[in-house]
Structure 1
Amino acid sequence: MTECSIVIPVGRGHEKLVERAERSVEEAWTFSKGPFSSIQLLRQYDSMDGVTEAWGAAKTRNQALLKAEGDWVVFLDADDWMDRAAFLSLSLAIDLHPRASGIWGLWTRWHKGQVHKRDFEVFSWERLIDVKNPLGVGMSGAFRMDPVRELWFNERLDFCEGTEFCYAFAAANWCACVDQTLIVVDGDSPGAIGKRQGFKVARRALQLRELWQLRGRYPLLEDELIERRGADAV
């Protein structure tokens, strides 16, 4: 019996959008349960009462993780939605990469009535520390719960906490990328402009070594990554 927790952090102004996100999960579950026997939908607001000062995305996700019961977890922003075939795609990906602790789907964005997709040339696993474009690494993936709880989200970061989490997770765990869409980012949502502005800041300020130092670790060197991947393939 394998359960998947779906964590949906809800910020101010996303109260109506979160219903769409939850419907997308239910529709995906109806289409195919994939490798999971059950799902747990966790709607987590960004403060204790929805009125006081917001916690921020990192603490909001961490609060949800305290209640998560799944063996896997998917982080779905309230203004995005899950692809209809997401659970089926995850089933195929887990069968193909049984040792993977993290599986990223194809980065997909909806904007002005069109779907835009990015390949993974911007996120080469063998050159993880050379990644320059944060758009290549987002929360559009599924993660095994145990290593997530070894890492958590860094609540000291004011921006790009999701990107930092993904980099740190990938440095510590065997991960895989697949060419199927799991999550669709809504580029037309009210929060989309803020997301794009955040990425502009990240391109200037996201220094990988500094972020890893905050966690008391350093990113693996390229030869260490290749050596680890070779050992996992045996």
Structure 2
Amino acid sequence: MTDLALSALTDVILACQIFFLAGLAFRPTFEVGSPAWLWALYLAISGTATALGAIDHGFFEPIEHPGNPAMKFATRATLALAAFLLLLTTALQFMSPLWTRIVVGAGLVVLAATLWVNWVSDDLLAVAASNGVGMLLALVLHASNLRNGRGSLMMCVGIVLSIAASSLVFTGGTGVLGLGLYGTLHVALMPAVLFLFLGGLKLRPTRSAGARA
């Protein structure tokens, strides 16, 4: 199999895992708009981005189909939306209403800029940068709130694994075990996603911090 075919295949497997965990994360006891509910939505959107990438790598990119640029943009845009949901979830879980508005406003600006950059030119680095900022903020806030019970050790582990796996893209290597670079990335993300799901179980299921935890 070619590296592109392996990338598509591992994307499909990763997408199935993420969709399964997203289904488990959605619970009828969660309030819509709560950090826990938004985290489940984040997983669902991440799975959608992964599935779009699988379709592009499997059907459009190999034959240089005219729809390849549109599919690539759709994948990047969905990843950027997922990065914004990560930021929103973290802000609602840990920040005051004022800081939440500030962070969400900044996140919307970054989201718009990321979409524009990828509309005029394919730029994975812009998507990775916006996601990386959200990941690092979530890592810091979860780690600093471990003692008071608001943070999650599982979430911290998942974020560290996600950052480590994503950094493989920028090494310029060929991956391991014959999977190719992106196939290796997708396999490396599988345990990271599991830890992220487990970490999300600690998030507040209500919109208000003063409501039932």
* Greater relative contact order, per chain length (Cα 8 Å cut-off, separation 6+): 2
Which structure carries more strand by proportion? 1
Is TM (by shorter chain) over 0.5? no
TM, length-normalised to structure 2:
0.38
The structure with the greater share of residues assigned to helix is 2
